[in-house]
Amino acid sequence: MTMTTAIEVRGLRKDFPVREKGILGPRTLKRAVDGLDLDIPRGRVTGLLGLNGAGKTTTIKILATLLRPSAGTVRIDGLDAVADARAVRRRINLIAGGERMVYTRMTGRENLWYFGQLYDVPKADLRRRTGELLDLVGLSGAADTMVERYSRGMTQRLAIARGLVNRPDYLLLDEPTLGLDAPIARDLRRVVADLAAHDGTGVLLTSHYLAEVEELCGHVYVISAGRHLAQGSPAELKAATGSHRTVRLTVTDPTERTRAAADAFGATRETLPDGGELITLRHPGDMAGPLTAAVFEAGGSIGGLEIAEASLEDAILTLAERGEAGLAGPGSGRPDATTIRPGAATAPPEAATAPPEAATVPPGAGTAPSEAAAAGVKGGTP
């Protein structure tokens, strides 16, 4: 295998031994990850999405060497995550949200020093780095305060600084903003974007806040029940699922003619308490203009217009639903894994959003707009 600067995951599988009914019960295997292929290059934030229990945390822990894969390979800059685990540990770090992951009986600075020692960060570097990191997460003022007197957000920010203390080449983020206030979460997103863009860090991010994923990730993998479902840039995924924009138009004086105009678009109508009517149209294209024009020409007066963009959330939900339906069916093997483009691993971030050469799977049944097919995300099970 050639040496690449990326995390390369091939055919990853993880079976957990589980015992039903206590320690004497029969042992079975629970498959948490089932044949994943991932490429996490430097300098890009790669997203890993899926519903609860999809296998995101399991995957991240395998990359972090905390779990051993049952099958498949994980290579980090050519190092094997199992055979060269110790060397790998120096190059990576993991930040998980929602837990107290630092020592409360030490100060913020002492915590960073402690972990710096464990990572054998050169002494002079460590002093400088500790200062920089405390600055970065806005804890300089509380650097010498015991963590037990920190607020939750401060503790979480310290946990983030802890994850950067060894200057990891690859940073694994498992729901890092869980439970954080909006401003702190925003600061964290800025830090993560900077790490990828300026320091060339390879970041793998899982998050339930899809807006966050949309903002940060150049490339997203969607998994369900441990299996690959789809991948692409957030825009490609939305296009592939034919996610809909929602147009909400309020007509103050609805008539038969305005109703007919709305119905012609296939919109739904709803009578408002004040006698007006709310026309709602979900459509993959930009229909706000044509709809408004048609209602206006039919003699309606427009009381309000609201357009909600398609969200990645819709796309993921659609994919997950499809995935579950598909995976349940017979003969639904692992989706074609050839979607990984050669050279993608070393490509600059923008390249991630470039459409793949060819679409193998037509997106969403029937509702797919033609431009989505052109965008060409290879979806999961058709």
Ligand X SMILES: Nc1ncnc2c1ncn2[C@@H]1O[C@H](COP(=O)(O)OP(=O)(O)OP(=O)(O)O)[C@@H](O)[C@H]1O
Residue 5 or 57 with smaller CB distance to Mg ion: 57
Q: Which is nearer to ligand X, 30 or 68 (CB)?
A: 30
Report residue 107 as tokens: 């100060």
Structure tokens at 65: 């060497």
Please identify which residue in the block is written with the tokens 């008539």: 255
| Alpha-carbon gap, residue 336 to 305, rounded angstroms | 42
**Quick check: helix, strand or coil at residue 261?**
helix
Does residue 67 bind other proteins (CB under 8 A)? yes
Number of H helices, E strands in the chain: 12, 14
64 binds, among Mg ion, other proteins, ligand X, none (CB under 5 to 8 A by kind): other proteins
Cβ proximity to ligand X, 130 vs 207, nearer residue: 207
Contact flag: residue 105 with other proteins (CB under 8 A): yes
SS3 185: helix
**CB-CB neighbours of 196 under 10 Å:** 24
Task: Find the shortest distance in angstroms from Cβ 205 to ligand X.
Answer: 13
Of 241, 217, 281, which is closest to residue 372 (Cα–Cα)? 241
Quick one: CA torsion of 69, 71, 74, 80, rounded to 10 degrees?
90
Determine which helix (DSSP H) or strand (DSSP E) holds 257, and give its type and residue range: helix 256-264
Query: x-or-dash pattern for other proteins, window 114-133, by CB under 8 A?
Result: xx-xxxx-------------
Taking the complex as a whole, the smallest distance from the CB of residue 110 to other proteins amounts, in Å, to: 6
Nearest 5 degrees, angle CA 85-CA 352-CA 227?
Answer: 55
Least distance to ligand X, CB of residue 180, Å: 16
Q: Write down the residue that tokens 């431009």 correspond to.
A: 371
Shortest Cβ 25–ligand X spacing (Å): 13
Give residues in contact with ligand X (CB under 6 A): 16, 18, 30, 32, 50, 52-58
**Which of the residues 70 through 109 are near Mg ion (CB under 5 A)?**
none
Closer residue to ligand X, CB minimum distance, 60 or 262: 60
Shorter beta-carbon distance to Mg ion: residue 49 or 164: 49
Among 49, 63, 64, 160, binds other proteins (CB under 8 A): 64
**Which of other proteins, ligand X, Mg ion, none does residue 114 bind to, with CB < 5 to 8 Å depending on kind?**
other proteins
Place of tokens 């993998």: 221
**Contact (Cβ atoms closer than 8 angstroms) between residue 248 and residue 287:** no
List contacts with Mg ion (CB under 5 A). 57
List contacts with other proteins (CB under 8 A). 16-17, 23, 58, 61, 64-68, 86-87, 89-90, 93-94, 96, 99-106, 110, 113-115, 117-120, 162
